[in-house]
């Protein structure tokens, strides 16, 4: 170690990106510290985003299943759970995650520093500890893994007890009968499913002309139909003009002249990188208008010894990718010749009810690129396992090259889609001719399983070839 510095590396933020970096550096015998301003480790992923919203969704899914099951019908009236009641399950999951992740730092001798970090220069950080004490620490290399927070326009009063963003919604204390969700991206769509599953009247305002337009159009249409069929009102191509919040309701005025009223508003339109308090300019860096930092393909910023990973660098803003970015950044920090990259086809998991997952190209991308492809489909309602578990909504779609039979994209809508997708992903990653749809026909799957959808879809697609 260079004795001029306190540490070889300091990482700011203990979300997946920071954790991935810290673990990899410590395994390579580096002296590492990690700074966290919140009372517990885990970052937004553990405390406000991925983990709590998926735990909420799990409880709501089971509630829907219970109320829909013919087994329980007629025995008692439909159960009603309140939002605060199902949050209890989420907090027990968060506690377990924090315990697990704290253990990683202990075991790997990574020093955990509690406090708020800001730059003094490119090698020096000022830390304001949680008790108000101030210290300075130095490192040869610094990694910014501070994540992101919900975007809050200045003209909306987020301190009002009926106005929420995707962080503060987790402290919702009352049991709303109606909610307006502004922003129909991944977070807005997930919460629309959750609240609708609890029997809340949901208005979903989409600033674009279709839901989740990065998805394959059929997946996007399936979600739209399913939300619509369950009573969610979706308004496309709208923008908020102003919000009027009073003691008993929220009225949202749209630029199109419409106005809507509900018990509360969830504003879920955009996120901003957490760089405002870091004083990155002292290190020679500058964030863009969305609070994000630019990096090269080794996650290095324009200041040689400073790296950045996770939501603070923007796309793909996924917990899974952030962890891998952290590991790759650590390798690059140790060996500047490192050429390891994120996989090209990162799977997307969207935890609506039912969930959506995809990997590879969409039909629209393949058509635009003039790549000849064929489609293989399996509908869940025809699978024995789906019939047994009564998860009949959904389908699996495989897109493959008409001539080489190489798998080009896989899209799944339905319960456990994010798990099912991995089987296809594993085959897509095979090289030297190993990636072919024939695999699913020549392999014997467990029966009855959801994985069997791959065999059904592959047969369906191959039957279309002539």
Annotated binding site for NAD(+): 183-190, 270
DSSP of 218-285? HHHHHHHHHHHHTT-EEE-S--EEEEEE-SS-EEEEETTS-EEEESEEEE---EEES-TTTTGGGGT-
Please classify residue 239 by burial: count the beta carbons closer than 10 Å to its beta carbon, then call 0-12 exposed, 13-18 middle and 19+ buried. Answer: exposed
101 contacts 41 by C-beta, under 8 angstroms = yes
Q: Cα-flanking dihedrals φ and ψ of residue 292, to 5°?
A: -100, 155
CB 193 within 8 A of CB 57: yes
| Annotated binding-site residue numbers for FAD | 36-45, 54, 146-148, 311
- Residue 211 CA, distance from chain mean position: 16
Binding-site residues sit at 36-45, 54, 146-148, 183-190, 270, 311
For 74, the token pair is 């007629």
| Distance between CA atoms of residues 43 and 54, nearest Å | 15
Q: For 392, how many CA atoms within 13 A lie in the half-sphere containing its CB?
A: 7
354, 219 Cβ separation under 8 angstroms: no
Beta-bridge mates of residue 114: 36
Place of tokens 């798998």: 407
Tally of helices (H runs) and strands (E runs) in the chain: 12, 21
Instruction: List beta partners, residue 254.
Output: 240
Residue bearing tokens 């013919």 = 70
Residue 131 falls in which region: left (phi positive, over 0), alpha (psi -120 to 50) or beta: alpha
DSSP H or E stretch at residue 94: helix 83-107
Cβ–Cβ under 8 Å, residues 414 and 354: yes
Tokens of 6: 């306190």
Owner of token pair 């609708």? 196
Cα–Cα distance, 65 to 390 (Å, whole number): 8
**What residues does 412 pair with on adjacent strands?**
357, 396
């Amino acid at each position: 170690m260079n004795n001029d510095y306190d540490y070889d590396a300091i990482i700011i933020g203990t979300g997946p990106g920071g954790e991935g970096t810290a673990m990899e550096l410590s395994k390579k015998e580096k002296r590492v510290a990690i700074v966290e301003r919140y009372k517990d480790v885990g970052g937004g992923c553990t405390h406000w985003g991925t983990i709590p919203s998926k735990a909420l969704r799990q409880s709501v899914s089971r509630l829907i299943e219970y109320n829909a099951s013919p087994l329980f019908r007629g025995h008692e009236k439909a159960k009603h759970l309140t939002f605060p009641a199902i949050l209890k399950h989420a907090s027990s999951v968060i506690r377990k995650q924090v315990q697990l992740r704290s253990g990683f730092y202990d075991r790997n001798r990574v020093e955990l520093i509690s406090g708020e970090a800001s730059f003094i220069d490119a090698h020096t950080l000022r830390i304001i500890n949680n008790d108000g004490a101030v210290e300075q620490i130095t490192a040869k290399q610094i990694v910014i893994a501070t994540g992101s927070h919900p975007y809050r326009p200045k003209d909306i009063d987020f301190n009002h007890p009926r106005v929420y963003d995707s962080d503060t919604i987790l402290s919702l204390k009352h049991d709303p009968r109606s909610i307006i969700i502004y922003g129909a991206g991944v977070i807005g769509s997930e919460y629309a499913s959750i609240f609708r599953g609890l029997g809340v009247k949901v208005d979903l305002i989409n600033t674009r002309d279709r839901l989740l337009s990065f998805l394959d159009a059929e997946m996007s249409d399936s979600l739209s139909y399913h939300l619509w069929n369950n009573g969610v009102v979706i308004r496309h191509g709208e923008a908020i003009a102003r919000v009027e919040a009073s003691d008993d309701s929220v009225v949202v005025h749209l630029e199109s002249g419409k106005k809507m009223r509900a018990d509360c508003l969830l504003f879920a339109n955009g996120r901003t990188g957490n760089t405002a308090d870091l004083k990155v300019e002292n290190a020679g860096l500058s964030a863009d208008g969305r609070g994000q930092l630019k990096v090269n393909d080794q996650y290095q910023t324009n200041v040689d010894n400073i790296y950045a990973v996770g939501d603070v660098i923007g796309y793909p803003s996924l917990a899974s990718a952030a962890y891998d970015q952290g590991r790759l950044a650590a390798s690059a920090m140790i060996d500047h010749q490192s050429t390891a990259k994120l996989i090209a086809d990162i799977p997307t998991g969207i935890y609506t009810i039912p969930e959506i997952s995809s990997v590879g190209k969409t039909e629209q991308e393949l058509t635009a690129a003039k790549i000849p492809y064929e489609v293989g489909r399996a509908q869940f309602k025809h699978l024995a396992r789906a019939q047994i578990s009564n998860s009949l909504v959904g389908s699996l779609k495989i897109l493959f090259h008409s001539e080489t039979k190489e798998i080009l994209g896989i899209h799944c809508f339905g319960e456990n889609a994010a798990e099912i997708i991995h089987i296809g992903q594993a085959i897509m990653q095979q090289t030297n001719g190993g990636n072919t749809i024939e695999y699913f026909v020549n392999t014997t799957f467990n029966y009855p399983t959801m994985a069997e959808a791959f065999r059904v879809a592959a047969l369906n697609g191959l039957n279309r070839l002539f």
